[in-house]
Amino acid sequence: MVSEYLKQNTAEYHDAAEKLFNSEKIFNKTFTLEDYKKIINTNYLMLLHSENKIFNNLSENFSEKLQLDKRVKLPLIEKDLASLALENQTASHEFELANEHEALGAMYVIEGSTLGGNVIAKQLSKTEGFDDVTFNFFGCYQENTGPMWKSFKEVLDTKVTEENYNQVLSGAKKLYTFLLNVN
């Protein structure tokens, strides 16, 4: 199953992202609005430079099966940027995908962030100083977070053959690397 392969082979990137965003502070309630602005800004830059490229690299077959129209996140995070009075920016380097399999790997990173994002939104909504924060991006799927993740993994696991696992992994690593070096 490619989803397990990705989870195992991107664990160090995932851990580095959690460290970059001071994730432990979210749970001990020391996460600040400035920390949140950093995480939103970085995720915005990631989506700005990757979402359209991912979607454009996917065949109609994948677009339909993955329900891409329900997975668009850039407009949501732009609402968060506006509510936090953050400026739209550009990244310091480009993001490119070689093919559809790399696009699926990059999408794995973004869809995975919605799982963690849902937890972040719930936790921060109970943290002092976050009363007026809208969680458009991190709360994008609301109560459908689990089912959306499951359906994404199911499409990956049933449609990606083993000879393409490394290309999917390459796409995931590319997006994680972009995310970790965007600022």
For residue 183, what pLDDT is reported?
Answer: 64
Total number of domains constituting the chain: 1
Structural domain that includes position 63:
2-180
**Average pLDDT of 14-18?**
94
Classify each residue of 150-167 as buried b or exposed e, where b means 16 or more C-beta atoms within 10 Å of its C-beta: ebbbebbeeebeeebbeb
**Model pTM?**
0.94
pLDDT in tens, 93-125: 789 999 999 999 999 999 999 988 998 999 999
Q: Which of 54, 167, 62, 161 is nearest to 113 (CA)?
A: 54
pLDDT in tens, 46-95: 999 999 999 999 999 899 999 999 999 999 999 999 999 888 777 667 89
Question: Phi and psi dihedrals of 4, rounded to 5?
Answer: -70, -40
- The band of 1, judged by pLDDT with boundaries at 50, 70 and 90, is very high
What percentage of the chain has pLDDT greater than the value 70?
A: 98
* Mean of per-residue pLDDT scores for the chain: 93
What percentage of the chain has pLDDT greater than the value 90?
A: 80
